Amino acid sequence: MNNSAKNDYPPGLIRADDLEHLLKALGAGGFRIQAPVIRDQSIVIDEIKSAGELPAGWTDEQNRGHYRIKRRSDNAYFGYVVGPYSWKKFLFPPSTAILEAKRTGNGFQVSAAAETVSPTAFFGIRPCDLRALQILDRVLIGSEYRDPIYQKRREQILIVAVNCTEPGGNCFCTSMESGPGAAEGYDIVLTEMIDAGQHNFLAQAGTERGNLILQQVPSEKATSDALKSAAEAVQMAARKISKKIDTADIKEMLYANAEHPRWEDVAKQCLSCANCTLVCPTCFCANIDDYTDLTGETATRVRRWDSCFTLDHSYIHGGSIRSSVRARYRQWLTHKLAAWHDQFGSSGCVGCGRCITWCPSGIDITEEVAAIRSGTVKAKAI
């Protein structure tokens, strides 16, 4: 795995009609292609074979607790932002077998669950989700304690990122310094440009294998005007983002306000449904279940996603540590924006806005942080 982007490869201009050649080059390289598609009235991520399966001509409408897709006035391939799925599910699956035990005479033979992993291209990943992968890399394989399932899958990934040129209603990536332009971590990055009847992609390789893929795609040298247009499109997207989080001293501020009355206020709205953690591209809480077959000959240990919003997540002998919704919401937000810095050296939030969109109560993390910060005395460093 080597996704440290280098910008010393010459950028090229790919016509929209030639995007199919990029997908064919990925397929010829042995990669399964996971990309945005329309399923059940939402834009999700699934395997594709051709550019015709991308949601060309569609956009999404996102607000607090609200998501809809609708037609655009043009045929943009990437004229939407992130949906309910994140790319995490391919690397840290919602449910996966980790151990198998088979009876052998008077004992058991225990082995790691067998798994076949195919080379996969993440096609159309946005900068916020790209940052999320970098965070998961640090958490799950960035120390001596490595997650072998994640590592095995991560090593098979090629990344084709897409810069955002139209933010959604719940985006706040600029506050978290994760977008709308991709800075690193990609093999190829695309910027879609539609202007005066011209529909093109500025394509930039970030790694040698990305460069080799692009060499198989019909393109022309990017002019200075094309480079300027691509940069301006990303800058304009940044200016359109209205939601923000003030991250100055946020760790100390949240630690100092563990008893702020806002926690009780938000608990009255929160359903503790765990939607926010399920759609979050960086949450990695999990639980372990053991199953046996009816014969008692085989047992399987399965890891599945869990959430700090469930009572069982903090259950120990004697009961749950966080028995109230207030305590569980505070744990989630404070860990994501404060304790994550202590544990992993960065925020756990990338500003994708999914937790706002998919909250059935319409709770907005940016508003909660602002409310807690408002009127509080400047916290002392901890």
- How confident is the model at residue 318, as a pLDDT? 83
The three-class DSSP label of residue 321 is: coil
- Specify whether the backbone of 57 is left (phi greater than 0), alpha (psi in -120 to 50) or beta: left
DSSP state of 106: T
Run of H or E including 102: strand 95-104
Which burial class, exposed, middle or buried, applies to 381 when counting CB atoms under 10 A from its CB (0-12, 13-18, 19+)?
Answer: exposed
Please tell me the distance from the alpha carbon of residue 258 to that of residue 212, in angstroms, as a whole number. Answer: 52
CA distances from residue 170 to 143, 243, 342 in whole angstroms, order as listed: 33, 7, 27
The answer to whether residues 219 and 271 belong to one domain is: no
Please say which residue of 205, 220, 240 terminates a domain: 240
Residues 6+ apart with CB under 8 A from 150: 91, 92, 136, 140, 141
DSSP state of 335: I
The answer to whether residues 200 and 120 belong to one domain is: yes
The answer to whether residues 234 and 257 belong to one domain is: no
The answer to whether residues 355 and 280 belong to one domain is: yes
- How confident is the model at residue 4, as a pLDDT? 54
**Chain-centre distance of CA 307, in angstroms?**
16
Structural domain includes residue 183: yes
- How confident is the model at residue 340, as a pLDDT? 96
Structural domain includes residue 105: no
DSSP state of 288: E
Low-confidence spans in the chain with pLDDT less than 70: 1-7, 375-382
The answer to whether residues 48 and 191 belong to one domain is: yes
Please tell me the distance from the alpha carbon of residue 67 to that of residue 61, in angstroms, as a whole number. Answer: 6
Structural domain includes residue 7: no
- How confident is the model at residue 351, as a pLDDT? 98
The answer to whether residues 220 and 311 belong to one domain is: no
- How confident is the model at residue 375, as a pLDDT? 64
The answer to whether residues 168 and 261 belong to one domain is: no
Structural domain includes residue 104: no
- How confident is the model at residue 107, as a pLDDT? 86
- How confident is the model at residue 381, as a pLDDT? 41
The answer to whether residues 185 and 313 belong to one domain is: no
Structural domain includes residue 107: no
- How confident is the model at residue 379, as a pLDDT? 41
Structural domain includes residue 379: no
- How confident is the model at residue 378, as a pLDDT? 44
Run of H or E including 214: helix 208-214
The answer to whether residues 89 and 216 belong to one domain is: yes
- How confident is the model at residue 177, as a pLDDT? 96
Structure tokens at 195: 């202007």
Instruction: Report if pTM > 0.85.
Output: yes
Structural domain includes residue 111: no
Number of domains into which the chain is organized: 2
Q: Which of 175, 311, 196 is nearest to 241 (CA)?
A: 175
Please say which residue of 240, 269, 286 terminates a domain: 240
Share of the chain above pLDDT 90, in %: 89
The answer to whether residues 193 and 273 belong to one domain is: no
Run of H or E including 211: helix 208-214
The answer to whether residues 216 and 288 belong to one domain is: no
Range of the domain at 294: 250-298+306-373
Structural domain includes residue 3: no
**Upstream peptide bond of 218 is cis (omega within 30 degrees of 0):** no
The answer to whether residues 78 and 168 belong to one domain is: yes
